[in-house]
Amino acid sequence: MRAAVARIAVAGSLAASAGCFYVEPINQRPALDIRPASDDPVFRGATVTLEAVANDPEGQIVAFQWRVYACTDATSIEACDLEPMFTGVQREATFLVPAFRADPDGEEGPKPGAPVESLRVVLEGRDDLGAAARPDQELILPVLNAPPSVALRVASAHGTVITTPIDVYARYADADDAPANVTLEWTAFSPSQVPDALTLLLVPPDGDPGFRQEGRRFTPQVTGNWDFRVIATDKAGAQTEEHLTITVAEDGPPCLGAWAPVASAQPTPLTQPTLFRVLAVRDDLDAFPRLSAASFVGEPEFQWSLKVGAGPRQLLPNATSSLAIDPLTYDAGTVLDVRVEVFDRKRTAITCADAQQTCSVISQPACIQRQTWRVEAR
């Protein structure tokens, strides 16, 4: 009987103990998310900001750890740099996207310095009691490559004339690459779309370190519209194609640009010795004063003539740009027609009537090859 009572007492004691047992609540892991600050595309060389978003069931403060890796293909760890290009512990991560990787892209991949094509972002989080988010939050960001820019211009002091050299320059840059990483492919197509030979020009450095310049020279043998094409390619393979149309023309006639004294249709008094002069002649190849010492550049030819009163016009053996007239050589009241005509190497005939004070072989008043002064000796 006493044994039974003892067993009942022990059981009651155990039941009382079981009713007072306390178990601490389990600390749940936080949940993480990565939120880009902008929906804009990500380019190499751009600044990116990411925000860490944490959801902790107990409302605890979560500490963050960022790691960002530069990759060729972020879906493969082997295609990313071994060391992160950015680390941080703040809620926001702001970093500059590198243009090139620090490590090679595998044994068979590009050498060190391959262009960055994506980023692997890893975010770790741990709450106050040490519970870590599992798994780590990861985000793959595609990285775009901005194409290079290129601008073309033609430079020629003698116009774009057949059989004469014409220079073309390309000024280029790249928003996310140094211009040193840009290569240019040049092609010049004749009017019949046949590629033509080009000669490399030595070009001094551009005044802006963000730009470079290259130049090519060609000597067209036919007239018409020539198509210059330049393809700029950066290290990541992005391309920009730029075209420039150059209209090559025949050598046009020279144009008298300036003269002295002023010419008038009515006879003007000539009271003292006067020098009639051509001050300037516009022409692609035979300008006055001469454009340069280049072998293909020449000078115009001047033809002076004089008509005294109603007499015939006399050609004067004077091929210079000026002619001196002394009124004392003539009777007072004598009307003189002092005339100059200009010719370039093509010697296009001036066929206007002798009575015309000026003449344009292309029927353009702004481009005349004849000028006449009518003066009266006094």
Which residue bears the tokens 């106050």?
128
Answer yes or no: are the C-beta atoms of 214 and 151 closer than 8 Å: no
Q: pLDDT tens for residues 288-318?
A: 999 888 888 999 999 999 999 999 999 999 8
Q: pLDDT tens for residues 110-145?
A: 456 789 999 999 999 999 888 999 889 999 999 999
Cα 69 to Cα 96: distance, rounded to the nearest angstrom? 12
Answer yes or no: are the C-beta atoms of 91 and 33 closer than 8 Å: no
What proportions of the chain, in percent to the nearest 5, are helix, strand and coil?
5, 45, 50
Sign of the alpha-carbon torsion through 90, 92, 94, 100: positive
DSSP line for 250-303: PPPPPEEEEEES---SS-EEE-S-EEEEEEEEE-SSS-BS---S-TT----EEE
Answer yes or no: are the C-beta atoms of 300 and 255 closer than 8 Å: no
Alpha helix (H) ranges present in the chain? 2-19
Parts of the chain with a pLDDT under 70? 1-25, 105-112
Answer yes or no: are the C-beta atoms of 355 and 313 closer than 8 Å: no
Q: Identify the CA nearest to 138 among candidates 55, 43, 84, 68.
A: 68
240-261: burial string, b at 16+ Cβ within 10 Å, e else: bebebebebeebbbbbbbebee
Q: Which domains does the chain have, with CATH numbers?
A: 31-144 (2.60.40.1930), 148-248 (2.60.40.10), 255-377 (2.60.40)
Q: pLDDT tens for residues 15-32?
A: 444 455 545 567 788 999
**From the centroid of its chain, how far is CA 254?**
35
Overall residue count recorded for the chain in this entry: 378
Answer yes or no: are the C-beta atoms of 27 and 44 closer than 8 Å: no
pTM: 0.69
pLDDT at 105: 56
Cα 246 to Cα 252: distance, rounded to the nearest angstrom? 16
How far does the chain reach from its first CA to its final CA, in angstroms?
171
Pairing label, strands 313-315, 322-325: unpaired
